[in-house]
A and B are shown apart, each in its own frame.
Chain A
Amino acid sequence: MTPSAAPPVAPALSLAPTFDLERVVASIDSMAAQRPVAAQIVSVANSEEASAKELSRMLGADVALAGRVMKLANSAFYGMRGRVTSLQFAVTVVGFATVRTMATVALTDLEDESRLPEDFWQVSTSLALAASALAPRFAERPQDALCLGLLAQLGVALLHHNDPVGYADLWTQERSCAGRRHAEVQRYGISALRLTSVALEQWAFPAGMVAPLKMVDDPTSFQGALLRSAFELAGRITDADHEEIPIERVSCGQLKQRDVLPVLDQVRGDAEELRRALLG
């Protein structure tokens, strides 16, 4: 997890000759123009004044997104067993932050798995569920942690969109989080997580959601500890070759090994369901 522990960058992952970070960052703006409803929801959903009524009214203008929210609300993940019959109720059930997250997913075209690295959503859902399950131990809201986990790899998608072949190689060759971030900085001048934070900050996501993305590489930072721990658990679940790091270390001592076993079981059980609910 620490940069010093990162493996050396493979020669094949040298700097992408055509990669233009400014262009990638600029593309974040242009996305809003393509999905204006999603962009509007992203911009208002976190407001203190946001209401289920207002959000559902906005969602109504994007049938595809509204359908996904309804489907998610009625999924086993939220336990409502098909009782959610109105969009407003759906917004209530999944929560405003999740609506915003889904709007962000739509905005950044994360729904199209063909344009993402292999097992992107498997990692993202595991990361999100692990963060959600561990959140109370870090005095964080599970729902916020879930959204952070779902969107943490937004930067991965952006990098992959702009350098599909190069990023796919990087993703395949570097399995550890720290290794990937090291390779990303080497190749693109910025890590995917940092890019996520830039995008989320640009879309005015709350600072509390952005800060962990920035702090995740500082092993002494408590603010980054939840996300670090969630990455560690997601790695254990999704990567058979994952090299475990003691959870006590990544969690700033908040977790013990025995704490994570039930979480691992829970995440394994729910991840696929959440992926299906999110992507349809």
Chain B
Amino acid sequence: MAARTRVADEHQASPEVVAAVFHKVTVSDAMAVMVVEPVGGDLHVSWSNGMAGRLLGYAAEDLRALSFEQLLPSLSAGELRLLLRRERAVTMTLPVRCASGVLLDCSVSTVPAPAGRRWTVRLAATANETERALRATADAHERRFSTLTERSPVPTLLSEQGLRLAHVNDAFCALVDLQAEQLLGTGWLGTVHPDDLDAVIESAAAVLGDGGEDRDGEARVRLVRADGTERTTVIRFAHLFTPGVGAGFVGTIEDITERLAFESRLAHQANHDPLTGLPNRTLLAEHVACRFTPGGSRLACIFLDLDNFKVVNDSLGHAAGDQLLVELADRLRAAVRPGDLVARFGGDEFVVVCTDVTEDGAVALAERIGEALRRPVTLGGVELRPAASVGVTVQTAEHAAAEELIRDCDIAMYQAKAAGKGRITVLDGEARAQARDKLRLVAELREAIEQRAITLMYQPIFSTEDGTVAAVESLARWQHPVRGAISPATFVPLAEESGLVAGLGLLVLDETCRQLAEWDRELGTSAPARANVNVSALQLDGKLTGHVESALLRHALDPCRLSIELTESALMKDPGAARQVLQQLRELGVQVSIDDFGTGYSSLAYLRHLPVDCLKVDRSFVAELADGHPEITSAVIALARSLGLCTVAEGVETREQAQELTRLGATYLQGFSLAAPLTGRDATAWFARQHVARPAVGALA
């Protein structure tokens, strides 16, 4: 009673309030409450509310008969005082024995009464039905997730905190060939290649740190298996937060080893020459571009072109040629310094790229390579001593881009080749300037062709029989806006070297036909009967006849109005193919002439079989007439006559030459003194005048 009064005093509660609270506790369905106090040296339940009885299955009287210790079988007698403390409230989770003998997990809270001899004990079952159901559902979710992860073929890591793994699935264990126990905690980091560990930690830290829930981390990582082999993987980290625990991650691993190997094979194939295994032109360009720094001075390219490789191919066959290329590629690899790149630039061309080298060093290396190449090699039982023309370029301040370096060593190689094969040439400033000027000229020539700025002049060709004009020869002219007139002797070879000759040839062919058609319209029967068009050796292919035919059709001309002129050297490059093309032209109805006859090395036997109509006697032989040497001209004319061919003598400069050539039996004459080349418009007027004037040759004769 005294204690009750003190409680009331402390809480300033009236006896009515205390009675109300007690009533509430007595009838409460929400909490089970008992009062425990020592009775006869033992602790007994001296009072309990209805809920306590219902929770434990006892009647109030039965509870009072029990020793409190009997309700808490997990506590030894000595430990009961840990629960019933005099100075403080205590809460423990303990199994409480029910009347049925079942142990019910309860949160047992004890509060000592102020006198310290009595305790209020509140029991609350730790889990009610709803909680148990929720936990069962959560457990089911957990099991489903575990099963999913466990059986997933995707290697998966699970960390609940930091980088320490709580779980790895079988797929990851199989990937690294270790047991789960060896991988849990930080064990899995031991499988990460040391060089990739930083990337893993950075990526994981990104998802673990502030704002990690909004981020994904990804790292390409090499994993080292138990047997030491490596697998290349991509590990993707996703943030995983466990309430009350902290931040972790889910990591999924994609093994990309096979894919990378496949891609690598593809990339290798795209960047390497399948025959020699050397980097190809694409990789060479990338390699040089990577190492090129404008203003740098220690990057060098060495360009090698095998001398007489075509001879090997033609005489021993392409297989032997390939064998030689493979052998020389091996020698090149062995001869260069570590870190230098050897690339196959094209057919029999190789490029070596060296960094951190002076010009002297690059030349020394080129010499060493040359020596290595010159060692004998036996192919098909034949011992060869390969040699190469070598161009060397070291980067200078003038090189603005990587490709200029390769281009310059290519030029240097051509200079070496032109100087007599088997040489090493270093591209100097003057040569570079010339080469660049030539490059500019090529660009301008391309533009001139595209814009039809290449014009044609027409030089009349006279018949020795009656002095009439039998034909004209179309002569291409280039009036450069800055450089002035550029000789065909300059721009035609330039067009041939730079792949522009086809365009130039088509331009000449088309313009000639157009002019002929225009003359036909303007001059009628006074128009030239035929025009001779020069064709480069490079045009002498299966397409030539088609081009000629379409030009004739386009301008509605009869094929007999054209004569195609080819040099004898062009015909002798591949006489078999040439014969076929000439035959097609003849069948079309176009005449064929051999230009500059006698200056090359024609096989007369071939000549007999070539379907040609006319031989043009070179101007050099005509000039010899004035020196009293008519022998060659006479022989050519006689040869032509014996083969049933007509002849055109070029470069007729004097009346005497004309008379002599007529005497020797030349069919036609062409020369500056007879008629200079004329523009199309001038030629129109000239032909109109010719119609009423006497023949020019007659005048000369």
* Residues of A in contact with B (beta carbons under 8 Å apart): 21-22, 25-26, 29, 46-50, 52, 73, 76-81, 83-84, 86, 88-89, 91-98, 129, 132-133, 135-136, 141-143, 185, 189-190, 194, 198, 201-202, 204, 207, 210-211, 214, 259, 262-263, 266, 270
**Bound-state Cα–Cα, A88 to B245, Å:** 14
Q: Show 29 A/B contacts (Cβ-Cβ < 8 Å), sorted by A.
A: A21-B82, A47-B244, A49-B243, A52-B246, A52-B247, A79-B162, A79-B164, A80-B205, A89-B205, A92-B161, A93-B162, A95-B162, A95-B246, A96-B245, A96-B246, A132-B185, A136-B166, A142-B166, A143-B161, A143-B166, A185-B78, A190-B79, A198-B82, A201-B93, A207-B93, A263-B181, A266-B181, A266-B185, A270-B185
Contacts A26-B87, A266-B185; is A80 near B162 (CB within 8 Å)? yes
B210 touches A95 (CB 8 A): no
Per-position contact with A for B39-58: 1 when CB-CB < 8 Å, else 0? 00000000000000000000
Contacts A207-B93, A262-B181; is A96 near B79 (CB within 8 Å)? no
**Bound-state Cα–Cα, A199 to B162, Å:** 28
B510 contacts A by Cβ under 8 Å: no
Complex interface: chain B residues within 8 A of A86 (CB): 210
B186 touches A78 (CB 8 A): yes
Complex interface: chain A residues within 8 A of B74 (CB): 214
**Bound-state Cα–Cα, A78 to B245, Å:** 15
B282 contacts A by Cβ under 8 Å: no
B88 contacts A by Cβ under 8 Å: yes
Per-position contact with A for B238-274: 1 when CB-CB < 8 Å, else 0? 0000011111000000000000000000000000000
**Bound-state Cα–Cα, A29 to B167, Å:** 38
Interface SS of chain A: helix
B81 contacts A by Cβ under 8 Å: yes
Chain B, 150-201, CB within 8 A of any chain A CB: 160-164, 166-167, 179-182, 184-187, 189, 197-198, 201
B187 touches A266 (CB 8 A): yes
A92 touches B79 (CB 8 A): no
Complex interface: chain B residues within 8 A of A83 (CB): 201-202, 205
**Bound-state Cα–Cα, A198 to B92, Å:** 8
Complex interface: chain B residues within 8 A of A259 (CB): 181
Additional 16 contacts, C-beta under 8 A, given A83-B205, A201-B93, A207-B126: A73-B162, A77-B186, A79-B189, A84-B205, A86-B210, A89-B210, A92-B161, A92-B247, A94-B161, A95-B246, A132-B185, A142-B160, A190-B78, A190-B79, A198-B92, A211-B93
Residue of A nearest to B208 (CB): A92
A29 touches B245 (CB 8 A): no
A143 touches B184 (CB 8 A): no
Chain B, 63-121, CB within 8 A of any chain A CB: 74, 78-79, 81-82, 85, 87-88, 90-93
**Bound-state Cα–Cα, A177 to B87, Å:** 32
Complex interface: chain B residues within 8 A of A92 (CB): 161-162, 208-209, 212, 246-247
**Bound-state Cα–Cα, A48 to B185, Å:** 24
Complex interface: chain A residues within 8 A of B186 (CB): 76-79
Residue of B nearest to A55 (CB): B246
Residue of A nearest to B186 (CB): A79
Chain B, 259-296, CB within 8 A of any chain A CB: none
Q: How far does the Cβ of A33 sit from chain B's closest Cβ, in whole Å?
A: 13
Q: How far does the Cβ of B497 sit from chain A's closest Cβ, in whole Å?
A: 62
Residue of A nearest to B77 (CB): A189
**Bound-state Cα–Cα, A76 to B93, Å:** 37
Interface SS of chain B: mixed
Interface-central residue, A21, A76, A96, A143, by most chain B CB under 10 Å: A143
Instruction: Give the number of A-B contacts (CB < 8 Å).
Output: 131
Q: How far does the Cβ of A195 sit from chain B's closest Cβ, in whole Å?
A: 8
Complex interface: chain A residues within 8 A of B197 (CB): 81
Q: How far does the Cβ of A189 sit from chain B's closest Cβ, in whole Å?
A: 4
Complex interface: chain B residues within 8 A of A190 (CB): 78-79, 82
**Bound-state Cα–Cα, A177 to B617, Å:** 121
Complex interface: chain B residues within 8 A of A185 (CB): 78
Complex interface: chain B residues within 8 A of A26 (CB): 85, 87-88
Q: How far does the Cβ of A203 sit from chain B's closest Cβ, in whole Å?
A: 11
A141 touches B160 (CB 8 A): yes
Q: How far does the Cβ of B88 sit from chain A's closest Cβ, in whole Å?
A: 7
Complex interface: chain B residues within 8 A of A93 (CB): 161-163, 208, 246
Complex interface: chain A residues within 8 A of B87 (CB): 26
- Ranked 4 nearest A-B pairs via Cβ: A95-B161, A93-B162, A95-B246, A79-B186
Contacts A94-B161, A96-B245; is A89 near B209 (CB within 8 Å)? yes
A29 touches B88 (CB 8 A): yes
Complex interface: chain B residues within 8 A of A136 (CB): 166-167, 180, 184
Q: How far does the Cβ of A183 sit from chain B's closest Cβ, in whole Å?
A: 15
Per-position contact with A for B559-571: 1 when CB-CB < 8 Å, else 0? 0000000000000
Q: How far does the Cβ of A217 sit from chain B's closest Cβ, in whole Å?
A: 11
Contacts A52-B246, A92-B246, A141-B166; is A202 near B90 (CB within 8 Å)? yes
Q: How far does the Cβ of A255 sit from chain B's closest Cβ, in whole Å?
A: 11
A79 touches B163 (CB 8 A): yes
Complex interface: chain A residues within 8 A of B164 (CB): 77-79, 142-143
**Bound-state Cα–Cα, A72 to B210, Å:** 19
**Bound-state Cα–Cα, A77 to B246, Å:** 17
Q: How far does the Cβ of B94 sit from chain A's closest Cβ, in whole Å?
A: 8
Q: How far does the Cβ of A84 sit from chain B's closest Cβ, in whole Å?
A: 8
**Bound-state Cα–Cα, A210 to B166, Å:** 21
A142 touches B91 (CB 8 A): no
**Bound-state Cα–Cα, A152 to B209, Å:** 30
Query: Contact check: which of A22, A79, A96 meets B244 at CB < 8 Å?
Result: A96
Query: Contact check: which of A46, A47, A50, A78 meets B163 at CB < 8 Å?
Result: A78
Chain B, 583-605, CB within 8 A of any chain A CB: none
Query: Contact check: which of B79, B92, B163, B180 meets A80 at CB < 8 Å?
Result: B163
Residue of B nearest to A45 (CB): B244
Residue of A nearest to B188 (CB): A79
**Bound-state Cα–Cα, A67 to B110, Å:** 38
Complex interface: chain A residues within 8 A of B163 (CB): 78-80, 93
B161 touches A189 (CB 8 A): no
Residue of B nearest to A197 (CB): B92
Q: How far does the Cβ of A53 sit from chain B's closest Cβ, in whole Å?
A: 8
Per-position contact with A for B218-252: 1 when CB-CB < 8 Å, else 0? 00000000000000000000000001111100000
